[in-house]
Chains A and B, each alone.
Chain A
Amino acid sequence: MSRVRPTAARRSRLLVDRIACDGRGLCAELLPEIVELDDWGYPIVDASGVPDRLELLARRAVAACPLLALRLEAQH
């Protein structure tokens, strides 16, 4: 029998340091599934968290932010 993962359970969430963020937009390019940009180029992050399959990509996005304004945090 296959194990069905509940969609609600996601291991981590992506958080933005809003003061450090300068709206460069690399995060939205790398993670369009959970980050979209508002009218001024600032990220809107899906609050439900990072799906497990995108975890690695999320880490890449965190490393790619030119201002280190992103961080991944374990979700409770």
Chain B
Amino acid sequence: MNTQLLWFATRGTGIVSLILLTAVTVLGLLSITGWQRPGWPRFLSADLHNNLALLSVAFVAVHVVTAIIDPFTSLGISAAAIPFASSYRPLWVGLGVISVYLFIALIVTSLLRERIGQRTWRAIHWLSYAGWPLAVAHSVGAGSDAFAGWFLLLTLACIFCVALAVSLRIWLGRSRREELPYVVAESRLPAPFAEREG
């Protein structure tokens, strides 16, 4: 087997994973805004978020497997399974390992959401704010193409998209009920019966 092929596969699936995870993160952040258009209902954004996440599992899996079996890398299973256990750029590979675990937790809990309940699911989903940055750090620090112009451009584009989505999330992400704040209204006898109080 052309060993270069494995290396290309690792890099290629890594980059696609980064793009997919960026899209997943952006869609997740924007879900609360309830954005929709005639041809793009809200459930489409939600379903796309879920499906792209599942798709990224496939690409990340290939990325990890090709990296391990590639004879030219010193990466073994332990390097992929244990954070910072790799001999090659342990920090950056380790961040990638952690990122994968976080995403697995996010995906598994989402698949089991009806079983575990909304509260638990939501608490764990906050981990997504750590998952994506770790993936980006991993790709910049551990990737072979890290300093190629096109890759830097791609990475910046991904970061820009997520930053924009986070701002929109903060700006627009209020629960509908907060539009009318609840003040414990004191119970007073309104007219016309008030005057009649004997």
Contacts and interface: CB of A to CB of B under 8 A. Distances in A.
B114 A22 contact: no
Contact of B177 (A22, A62, A63): A22
A30 B46 CA distance: 12
Classify chain A's interface size: 10 to 19
B176 A68 contact: no
Interface in A2-28: 20, 22-26
| Chain B binding surface SS class | helix
Contact of A29 (B31, B43, B118, B175): B43
Contact of B114 (A20, A30, A68): A68
B31 A64 contact: no
Enumerate the 10 nearest inter-chain pairs by beta-carbon distance, A residue then B residue, closest first: A68-B118, A29-B41, A26-B43, A23-B176, A26-B42, A29-B43, A22-B176, A30-B43, A64-B43, A22-B175
Interface of B: 31-32, 34, 36, 41-43, 46-47, 113-114, 117-118, 121, 175-177
